[in-house]
Amino acid sequence: MWTPAQTAAFLASARDERLYALFHLVALRGLRRGEAAGLRWADLDLEAGTLAISRQLQQLGGHLVTGPPKSQAGQRVIALDRTTVAALRAHRQRQRAEHAAAGDRWRGNGYVFTSRSGAPVPPDWLTRYFRRLVTASGLPPVTLQGLRHGAATLALAAGTQMKVVQDQLGHSTITLTADTYTCVLPEVARTAAEDAARLLFPPRRPRPPATHAHRNSPRRASGYVRKRRRPAA
């Protein structure tokens, strides 16, 4: 998996790509490639910032077939952050322009991520497309599945509860989630422990250095010392 900095660098390098929103979605919310390929605009509520997963697109015998998600847990509703909503809005505007340019040649059927003629994109093609973009970015090679895993790592590092991450990824059990991201958990647990201790023992603020008024006295600075007057005889 990439580090957060590497993921950010990839997204920056791919920002002008037609299907940038797809990679943004996978990187932040962890969709499987078949789930992303099978996504329809009817599944999104950009006003509410939610996305419903109810199907995936698969390649069987050289044909694209729509089927249910990988497991029952794969049917889920995912919350979208503001950057992902913005990326999807921009993608919708681009797709509308392509639809207008294609005219009667448009073969769209409501899919979010399509070819320039509106046809759904095969998951295997997405894998090759992603590989080309990674090579062009100069970053260490990862798979599209690795980009999905990175979304879970980001969520855990941000302090998201394990159950929430399980639901986000569509894992059938929380044990699967924990086993998959064992390498991330020690650091997350350590951060959580420090956060809990900070509630009882907040860090002390350093005291400001003591100041004495006489140190800044203009008379002392000039060397002037007032002599005590003797009483008259």
User: Does a structural domain hold residue 201?
Assistant: no
> Domain span at residue 123?
4-193
Q: What is the pTM of this model?
A: 0.75
Q: What is the pLDDT of residue 4?
A: 85
User: Does a structural domain hold residue 180?
Assistant: yes
Mutual angle of helices 20-29 and 123-137, in 10-degree steps: 90
Q: What is the pLDDT of residue 222?
A: 47
**Cα-trace Rg, the chain:** 29
What is the domain-level CATH number for residue 78? Answer: 1.10.443.10
Phi first, then psi: give them for residue 130, nearest 5 degrees: -60, -40
> Contact 145/118 with Cβ under 8 angstroms?
no
The number of angstroms, rounded, from the C-alpha of 98 to the middle of its chain's C-alpha atoms is 28
Q: What is the pLDDT of residue 233?
A: 47
User: Does a structural domain hold residue 210?
Assistant: no
User: Does a structural domain hold residue 121?
Assistant: yes
Least Cα distance to 181 among 159, 155, 143, 153 occurs for: 153
Give the count of domains, the chain: 1
Which mean pLDDT values do the consecutive 10-residue runs of the chain (233 residues) have? 89 96 93 94 95 91 87 84 95 96 92 95 95 96 90 79 78 65 57 62 72 53 51 52
Least Cα distance to 23 among 165, 130, 143 occurs for: 130
The number of angstroms, rounded, from the C-alpha of 94 to the middle of its chain's C-alpha atoms is 22
User: Does a structural domain hold residue 223?
Assistant: no
User: Does a structural domain hold residue 218?
Assistant: no
In this structure, the number of other CB atoms found within 10 A of the CB of residue 75 comes to 14
Q: Which residues contact 6 (CB under 8 A, 6 or more apart)?
A: 139, 140
Cα angle value 153/142/173 (rounded, 5°): 40
Residue with tokens 């970053």: 139
User: Does a structural domain hold residue 209?
Assistant: no
User: Does a structural domain hold residue 94?
Assistant: yes
Q: What is the pLDDT of residue 40?
A: 96
Give residue-wise pLDDT tens across range 76-95: 888 899 999 999 999 999 99
Q: What is the pLDDT of residue 105?
A: 93
Give residue-wise pLDDT tens across range 4-20: 889 999 999 999 999 99
